[in-house]
Structure 1
C-alpha cells in the first residue's frame, strides 16, 4: 500500500509500528526492520484485532471538519478512534507525563461525513432492537462496503525518534510497502514529517485525543457543519440516506464537481502518479549519433536491467534521534510543513493554482523546488559518481590508489554533505561504535535501512550495517539541514589576524563549514512559531542573517584541491611561491579543523601536494561588481527567485506572498488540546524566496527526469500531488538561460569576399560564464543562411551528439583534445579567437587543464597547468596587483592569491576585446559567386554544454568497467533530447539575428 498525504499532510505516515505491553502485544517498531514490522502490524490493524480485544473507542463516528457541498474540509475523513489501555490511562491522568511505549491510537476511518454512519446505525438499531451483535456485524459490513474502511495508526516507541511515535496508514488489504517504481512515500514511518505537520501542534505528546470523545466519559465531541449532499446513496431505499435531488443542496452537485476528496484517498495519489507517466518513457534504442560518437567498446554498454539503480528517495529517511536531535535529518522530516498545499479543500500555500483540481498548478514550496534542483539531486547525480570512478582509476594507475578514500570523502563533503559530516560527528561522539569516518565509501550511497531481518543479516555480514543511515543522509545531497546549519568560518588559534574575507578563504572553503548547534536551524525571520518544530524534532528555528549571505554558498562553491602528480617543489603554473603557500596553508587549516573538531585524519595525505582552486564561483562573485554595495546582487538574489514567470506566460508575479509553513493552526478545523494560538498561527510572508537553486545544468535534471526508475526518484509530490516538479526546474533554467545568462550583439558589414559579422557576448551573470566545474563550456555558433534557409557557412555547428563539426559535417580535430601532431608540445585545442575566418575555428569559452604529462584532463586532482581559460568574466572583475584591486581588497596576499583563480589564462589575456563582462569577436564569412550578401541572414547563438562530448569520452575511457560509468553511458546514450531544451546535446542561451540593409 502507498501512503498519500495531499491536503493536510495527514497522518498517513512512513516506517514500522508497535503495540501495547501486554501478552498479546505486537513488538515495538524499533525491534524489527520496517517490512517485517509492517507484516505484523498491518494484519493486526486490517483484521481489527484491537476491536476484538475490547479497546475503548469513541462515542460515535465523528467528523474532523465541515462537510459542505459534497466536500469534506476535515483533516481526516470520518473517524472513530480506538485507544489502547495505556492511552486511556494517560488521558484519565490528565494528559500528564509521557505515553508509555507500546501504546496505540488507531484511527478507524471511512468516507465522510460521519452522519451517514450515525444514520445507518440508527436504522440498524431500529431493525434489530434486541440484537446488538447483528447491529455491529451489519454496521461493519456497511463500513467495509460503502465506507472504504481504512486506518491511520500511532504507535508509541520512544526509541524510534525524538517525537517517539511511529505513524502508519493501513488499508483493507494490509499490503506492506514495496518501494518499487514509480515510487511513493512509505505507508509507515517513524517520526513522519507529514504526520508531524499537524501533530506537532498538540499541547502534549503529539496527541490531540480528549476524553470528551471517548465512550463512557462525560462530554461531547466537537461538532462541525454537515449539509445534506451526502444523502445520495442510490443503493439505499428512498428515505434519509437517499433523498431526491430536489432536496439536496445545489441539486446534488459537489463543489468543483466539486472537489475530489484527496485527504486519505490512495487512489488519488496513484492517479497523479499515473498521469505523470508512471514508469518513465525512454528511447527503445540508443541514440545513433551518440553511439557513433562513443562506440560501446570495453563492455561499457549494458542493458537496462544491468544498470546500477539508486534506492527509492522514500528510503532516505533519518528522523530526529530520541535522546535529542543530531545535526542532520532527511528532508522528509521537513516536507509536511514546507511542502505546500495545492488548493481546495486544503487551502493554498507555497503553490500557484491554475485550475480547479487539487495540485493543478505550480508547486513552489521549499521542499518541491529543492527536490528537483541540482542541490537536491547532488547525492544521486550520475555524472558525479562516474567522475569519482575516473578519479579512483587514475589514482590506481599512478600508484596512489591509497588516496582514493581521502579524495572520495572530500568530494562527498558537499555532494553527500549530511551523511559524510554526520558520520564524522557520530564517530567522535561514540568511539566504542567502531565507525570509520575517514573513508566515506561510494558503496554507502546505495545503502538504506534494512527492510527485513534477512537484509539486516546481509548488511551485517558485509560490514555495512552501521553505515546505512549515512547513506540515507548522503543521497539527499545538499539538503535542508545543510544550509540551515552553516555558521560563519572562524580563525583557529595561532592564525594571523585575518580580515573577514581572508578568514573565509583560509578556513571556510571545500565543504569544511562550521555549524550551528544540532538543536538550532537558522532562517531569515525572527517572528517564527518555534514550538511545533521543537515538539516534532527537538529543534528550534532561529533568525540569523547569515542564511542570506553569499559567503554561506561559498562553503561548497570554492573548492581548493590537491594536484597529485605535480612537482611538490615547484609552484603550479601561474602562481608564485607565496601564492602556493597560501593555497597549501588553507588546505592544512581545513585538515586541522576537521581533526580538531571530529578527530578525522583523511585530509592529511592530501595536504602533501600542491593545491589550487578547482572551482571558484563564489570568488568570481566577490571579484565582481555584484559584490559591491552600489550594485549588489547576492547568490540568493539570482538563485532563490522572489518572482515567478510560467513558461507559457499565463502566470506572471513580480513578488510572492505566502505562508512558508503549513501546520495545524486556527485556520484549520478545531481540535482539542491544541497549543495556544500564538504558538501555532503562521503569518503570511512577503518577499518569499523560492528554493529553485538552478543554473544551466538542464542535462542532469532532464536525465534524472527521464530515468526516474534508475535514479530512484518519485514524480509526484506527496503534499500537493503536483507532478511537474522536474519540468518546473527545467522551465526555471530555461528562463535563466534566456533572460539572465548572456546578451548577444550582432552587426554586419561587407568586407573581403563576403560578410563581416561583429559579435559581442555580454555576461549577465554574477560570476564567470560558464562557472563551476572546469569541464563546462559555452560556445558561439555563427550561422549564415541564404534566402531559402540553407546553411552557407557555420562556425560552431554540431551533430546530434553535441560534437562541433566543420562545414563538411566532420568533427573538428580539436573536439576531443586527444590529437597531438608530431613535434607539438600539446594536443590540439581551440585557442581563444579574436578573428574567426574558417568553419573549423570556433569561439569556445572554457577552462582547459593539463596533467603533469601534458595531456588534457578533466580530473579534479591532476590540474597542473592551464593553457586556456577564456570563460567570460563578470562585470567589475579586477586584476590582483592593480590599484583598483588594492582599493577594493587591500594588500592581502591571501586575497591576491585566491583571486588569481578568477582571471583568464592563455590567449584571452592578450585580447583587448576580452574585458570584464564581455568579449568581441569578428567573423569573416566568405560567400560564393552569385550570392547576394543582402539575401543572407546571419544568426549568432551562445550554447551551453554542462557535460560536453570530450568530458563524456574521458569518463567512458578512463573507467569503462565501473558501475557508475556504465550507468552514465546507458543514461546518456538513451537520453531523449529531441524536442527538449537540450536538443542536439546543447542548451541555447542568448541569440541575435541580422541582415545587411
Structure 2
C-alpha cells in the first residue's frame, strides 16, 4: 500500500526508486526519512516535470489508473520529451538548461491524464489477512467520463482546475522575440480542501512547508471562492403553509463535472435548513453544524456504526440530508478503514449534470435510498420538508444552506484510538484538534411565507 500511495503523493521519488531498483516505501527509512537519498524529491510532491512527462499511451484505460501513468525512463537527456499545450515550441533553450525536449502533446489538455491518479483502486484486506480484490476508493475521472450533459460538450479537468489566463502570456523571457500565447492554463490546481490548506499554514515549520503565508493565503482564497461560487447552487422553489403544516421543497444543483463531494470518502456536504418566525425564533432546524465539526441529528456523529440515510422527505430535526459515501466491510458493517472496505453502503453524493444513475457501472453507482429516489438525478436533487408550525404559520423565514467538510468528524473520531499506536496518527489528531472545523458554505437560499 505504501508503494501505491507513493505513485501519486511522492511520484518523482517513486519513479526514480523504481528505475534504480531501490525499495519503494514511505515510512521508517523510506522517502519520509531525511536520510533517504530521495527525500527531497519525495517532499516536492507532484512536480511540473512529472505531469508533463506523462505520455499519451493508454490514457483513459484501466491500465493507467491508480497512478500507473506511462513515463519514459530510458531516453537520455536532452532527448527525453516533456509535453505541453503549444505546437512548434523552440527546443534548444530547454534542452540546454534543463535537459528535456519540449513537444506538443494534445493529451496534456485531456482529462484522461488527470485520471491516472484521480481513479484509485485500493486492495481489500480482510480480517484474516486474505486479499479480497480491489475497492473503488476514488473515482473522480470515471464520474466525469460517465456524465453526458445535454449539448454533448463538458469542461475538462483542466478547464476548471487550471483556468485559462485572460489575454496573452509570454511563457518565457527568452528569446526576446518570443510571441505571447493565449490559452495558458494557470496552474492554480484549486480543489476543495480548505481544511488541509489551513493546517499547512498553521504548521509550516512542523511540516516543512516551503510556501510562504502569502502564497498559502492566495490558494486558500481561491479555494474558498471556487467552493462558494462554482461548486453548487441551492434554491427553495416551492413553499406552502396549510393546516399548520409548512411544506418546503429545497433543490440542490451540482455545478462540478464529477460527484459532489468527490475523491476520498471522508468528505460530506449537507443541507442546513432553518425556519424562523417573525420574531426570529427558530421553529425548526435540520443539519445545524456544531463547533466541534459534528452535525446535529447525524446518526454517524453519535453512533460509530450508524449513518444517516438518504432522504426524499424530512419531517423531524433528527433527519438530515447528507451527501456522502459510506464504506462497508465484508460483514456489511460501517468502516472508515480504506483497506477493510468491500463496497459502499451509501453513496448519494450529488451527481454531475448528465450522469445517468441507471447505466452507471458498479464503481461509480448510486447506493442506498438515492438509487430509487426519482428526484435524485444527474445534476440535481430535491428534498421536501414537511414541518408542523401550528399557530406560528404566519410570517416565516426559511433559510437553506449547503455546507461542506473535506474531512468528516466521524472519520477523525474513528482514527483517534490509533493515536496511541502511531506517531503519525497522533500528530494528525493534534493538528485536527487545533483546527477550525467551521464548514464551508457552498450556497445559500432564503424564502419567506
- Name the TM-score, length of structure 2 as normaliser: 0.92
C-alpha distance after superposition, 1:200-250 (max 9, x if no partner): xxxxxxxxxxxxxxxxxxxxxxxxxxxxxxxxxxxxxxxxxxxxxxxxxxx
Equivalences, count:
443
Q: 1:444 aligns with which of 27, 30, 35?
A: 30
Question: How much does 1:765 deviate?
Answer: 0.7
Alignment of 1:482 with 2:58, yes or no, is: no
Shift of 1:714: 3.4
Shift of 1:817: 4.5
1:783 equivalent among 274, 290, 295? 274
The answer as to 2:394 corresponding to 1:908 is no
Following superposition, the deviation at residue 932 of structure 1 comes to: 4.4
The CA deviation at 1:774 is 1.2
Once the 2 structures are TM-superposed, how far is the Cα of residue 566 of structure 1 from its aligned partner? 7.9
CA contact (8 A) 2:246 2:386 kept: yes
Query: Is 1:413–2:7 an aligned residue pair?
Result: yes
Aligned pairs (5 A) from 1:169-318: none
Contact between 1:696 and 1:944, CA under 8 Å: does it hold in 2? no
- Indicate whether 1:988 and 2:435 are aligned: no
Residues 754 and 933 of structure 1 are in contact (CA less than 8 Å); yes or no, is this contact kept in structure 2? no
Partner Cα distance (2:314, 2:95) in 1: 63
Match of 1:724 in 2: 214
Deviation at 1:683, TM superposition (A): 2.6
* Residue of structure 1 in register with 2:337 after alignment: 859
Residue 689 of structure 1 corresponds to which residue in structure 2? 185
Q: CA deviation at 1:879?
A: 4.7
Is the contact made by 2:284 and 2:317 (CA closer than 8 Å) also made in structure 1?
yes
* Counterpart-to-counterpart distance in 2, 1:994 and 1:787: 13
1:515 aligns with 2:71: yes
Task: Decide whether the 8 Å contact of 1:780 with 1:842 is kept in 2.
Answer: yes
Contact kept in structure 2, 1:529 and 1:682, CA below 8 Å:
no
In the alignment, which of 73, 88, 91 is matched to residue 530 of structure 1? Answer: 91
Deviation track 1:28-81 (CA, whole Å, cap 9, x = no partner) reads xxxxxxxxxxxxxxxxxxxxxxxxxxxxxxxxxxxxxxxxxxxxxxxxxxxxxx
From 557, 560, 565, the counterpart of 2:121 = 560
Separation in structure 2 between the aligned mates of residue 473 and residue 757 of structure 1, nearest angstrom: 54
Provide closer, same or farther for how the CA distance between residues 960 and 925 of structure 1 changes in structure 2, counting only shifts above 3 A.
farther
Q: Distance in 1 between matches of 2:94 and 2:317?
A: 61
Shift of 1:415: 1.0
Q: Give 1:531-546 correspondences, 5 Å limit.
A: 531-546=92-107
Separation of aligned partners in 2, 1:634 and 1:566:
40
Q: Which residue, 461, 473, 487 being the options, matches 2:41?
A: 473
Spell out the pairing of 1:43-62 with structure 2 (5 A cutoff).
none
The answer on 1:707 being equivalent to 2:199 is no
Conservation of the 8 A alpha-carbon contact between 1:623 and 1:877: yes
Contiguous gaps of at least 5 residues in structure 2:
none
The structure carrying a bigger helix percent of its residues is 1
> CA contact under 8 A between 1:562 and 1:861: conserved in structure 2?
yes
1:750 maps to what in 2?
241
Match of 1:939 among 396, 399, 402: 399
Aligned residues: CA RMSD: 2.3
Alpha-carbon distance between aligned partners in 2 of 1:689 and 1:629, rounded to the nearest angstrom: 24
8 Å Cα contact 2:357-2:378 kept in structure 1: no
CA distance in 2: counterparts of 1:511 and 1:662, whole angstroms: 34
Aligned counterparts, 1:421-436, within 5 A: 421-427=15-21, 435-436=22-23
CA distance in 2, matches of 1:706, 1:690: 26
Q: Which residue of 1 aligns with 2:228?
A: 738
Identify the residue that residue 138 of structure 2 maps to in structure 1: 615
In the alignment, which of 344, 349, 371 is matched to residue 871 of structure 1?
349
SS in 2 for 1:739: helix
- The whole-number CA distance in structure 2 between the counterparts of 1:690 and 1:875 is 25
Say if 1:972 and 1:682 are closer, same or farther in 2 by CA, change over 3 A. Answer: farther
Compute the displacement of 1:816 (Å): 4.8
> Where has structure 1 moved over 6 Å in runs of 4 or more?
none
Is 2:420 the partner of 1:956?
A: no
Q: Do the aligned residues in 2 keep the contact of 1:409 with 1:441 (CA within 8 Å)?
A: no
- Is 1:783–1:793's contact at 8 Å kept on the other side of the alignment? yes
Q: Note the alpha carbon deviations across 1:528-562, whole angstroms, 9 max, x for none.
A: 33222222221111111110010000000111222
TM-score (normalizing by structure 1): 0.43
1:885-936 superposed Cα distances (whole Å, 9 cap, x missing partner): 5xxxxxxxxxx7xx3222201111111111111111011222254x2432x2
Alpha-carbon distance in 1 for matches of 2:420, 2:50: 33
More strand by share: 2
Equivalent of residue 639 in structure 1, options 135, 158, 161: 161
Correspondences of 1:583-594 after superposition (within 5 Å): none
Structure 1 residues 436 and 715 mapped into 2: Cα distance closer, same or farther (>3 Å)? Answer: closer
Seen in structure 2, the aligned counterparts of structure 1 residues 690 and 743 have a Cα distance that, compared at 3 Å, is same
Match of 1:917 among 350, 375, 379: 379
Secondary structure at 1:728 match in 2: helix
Whole-angstrom distance in 2 between the partners of 1:816 and 1:545 = 50
Preserved contact between residue 770 and residue 846 of structure 1 (Cα < 8 Å): yes
- Return the alpha-carbon distance in structure 1 between the equivalents of residues 54 and 107 of structure 2: 8
Structure 1 Cα separation of the partners of residues 197 and 250 of structure 2: 31
